Chain A
Amino acid sequence: MSHIEYSIKKEKVLMVKYAGELTLEVIEELRKELERLLEEHKDKVWVFDLSEVNFMDSSGIGFLVHTNNKKKMSNGKFYLLSPSQAVIKTLSLVNLLNFFEIVESEEDLEAEICC
């Protein structure tokens, strides 16, 4: 079962936490669900907490790259927070680990955003 929750941190960060499998079966629904939310908070920093993603397939990769590109095009910031080993492994396999800005904790995120 997958689960999504989001929160606004200090009025400048949209934090989206997704738990479960990030796969073809859920991507379309997730994309629809997040589209409005991301648009609504387009001026904020977007952070995806992927610490509880236990599997990610190519559709999940596509979704993350798409979101990253979208944010970068508007000169915004997009971070992956504490990605699970499953996410790290999959992104490494397709040489995309360095493509994303990754932070290990909320403290690191705070430091990144401040400076």
Chain B
Amino acid sequence: MKKDNYIRIISSENDPIFKNALNRVFQQWEANILFASRGEKLLEHYFNSGADILVISLDSGDLTGTEIVEYIRNQANDSDAYIIVTILSGENEERNRILNQGADDYILKPFSAGGEEVVARLNVAKRHVMLFKQVLIAYNRLSREFDTVSSLQHKLLPKDRVTFPRLYIDSFYEPSGRASGDYFDFFPLDNKRLRVAIADVSGHGARAAFVMAMVRSLVRASTIYALSPHQLVQLINKELCEVIGEDMDFVTLFLGDIDVEEKTLCYVNAAHCPAILMGEKGQMQLLESNFSVLGFFNQDFESTSLSLHGKRGLLLYTDGYYEWNLDRDTIWGLGNFLQLVTEVFKHNRVFYLEMLDEAIIQEIGAPPMYRDDRSSLWIKFKWEEEEDVPY
């Protein structure tokens, strides 16, 4: 790891006054200063070691200063290096051109005998580089924090392939950034009931991840107090209203208990996108939201119970699956997604969640530019012995 005061400088300006000024400005620094007699040599040094500061003589022999600046900014795509160009006093029209090309500063030649202006300009460059390094350090620190959030968040999601009698569970999770507002879960309440949940916190990033962790804790804690779906959603809403208060965040949640002995589903859908209950014969039943979003105001929740006889499975997902642009003005939308799910189930006896992505790509001819986190859960009911149909 380089020290904070380590700096790499490459110069094709070899005037003794300039060299002297350079040494004066960076004498306290651990500076690696390379001089190049020609433009190509300068670029060679640049490619070998990179540079924090480049000092380019407008006439660098084989290459002009303009060509070098253009190359570094537009071909190497380096917008970080601080570039100073030295220009002969007569070449006035070059000044604006070189700045527009991407140089940060210029110094007119011949240099004054004491080199005071050169020292002043190099001090500007030094301050710029110091600031840039500080920003980079802060960015890296934040980045590491985000990685920690992301890693912790992944740990909050259940591990796949949890076995439960008469159910097969498949899950999919793809955050749009490092921290996400999506949450899904599944865990046994007892030996005959599996609790499933999928939620979406508005927004992204650390803020959404924090709210997601809070919802997850409440969902998991509910097993201790044997709360029913509507009691749990009531509690989550109350807690979110207290914490979120007057902010703009909210949560949508589908929470249900699957009873494999009774073959029933008892659920609450609080403003989450409709869960899909697939029939054995391909008919789709949408379990739409009966309530509003969580975290804004009090609501009286009620659970809905329905029979799972003759049902193939339950598909839960977040809106990231369908809220993306088909083109500049068109959102793909829920309707298209539901149609696609119908087709996938119609044509496949075996279903796994990656098939949704494959079908979307097939439908539009390319992977979509998803703009949100995506999560999904597929709970396949195995009411009968189905040796040949694992999913």
Contact = CB atoms under 8 A, between A and B. Distances in A.
Contact of B292 (A27, A58, A99): A99
A27 B207 CA distance: 15
B248 A93 contact: no
* A-B interface, 10 closest residue pairs, ranked by CB to CB distance from nearest: A62-B248, A58-B202, A94-B271, A95-B292, A66-B248, A62-B202, A94-B293, A55-B331, A65-B296, A59-B203
Interface in A1-35: 23-24, 27, 31
Nearest to A54: B329
B177 to A, nearest CB: 11
B362 to A, nearest CB: 25
Interface of B: 200, 202-204, 246-250, 252, 271, 273, 289-293, 296, 319, 323, 329, 331, 334, 371-372
A58 B61 CA distance: 58
Contacts of B252: 58, 94
6 contacts: A23-B371, A54-B329, A58-B200, A62-B203, A66-B247, A86-B331
Nearest to A57: B323
Contact of B289 (A62, A69, A95, A99): A95
B223 to A, nearest CB: 27
A94 to B, nearest CB: 4
A102 interface: no
A87 to B, nearest CB: 12
Contact of B202 (A31, A59, A96): A59
A70 B245 CA distance: 11
A62 B250 contact: yes
Contacts of B293: 61, 65, 94-96
Residue with the greatest number of chain B CB neighbours at <10 A, chosen from A58, A86, A93: A58
Contacts of B250: 58, 61-62, 65
Contacts of B202: 58-59, 61-62
If over half of B's interface residues share one DSSP class (helix, strand or loop), that class is named, otherwise mixed; here it is loop
B292 A96 contact: yes
Interface in A25-78: 27, 31, 54-55, 57-59, 61-63, 65-66, 69-70
Nearest to B291: A95
B289 A58 contact: no
A104 to B, nearest CB: 22
Contacts of A65: 248, 250, 293, 296
A69 B295 CA distance: 12
A99 B202 CA distance: 18
B253 to A, nearest CB: 11
A85 to B, nearest CB: 11
Contacts of A70: 246
A57 B176 CA distance: 15
Contacts of B289: 93-95
B246 A95 contact: no
A86 B292 CA distance: 18
Contacts of A55: 331
Nearest to A95: B292
A99 B293 CA distance: 11
Contacts of B291: 95
Contacts of A69: 246, 296
Nearest to A97: B292
A58 B250 CA distance: 8
Given A57-B323, A62-B248, A62-B250, A94 B292 contact: yes
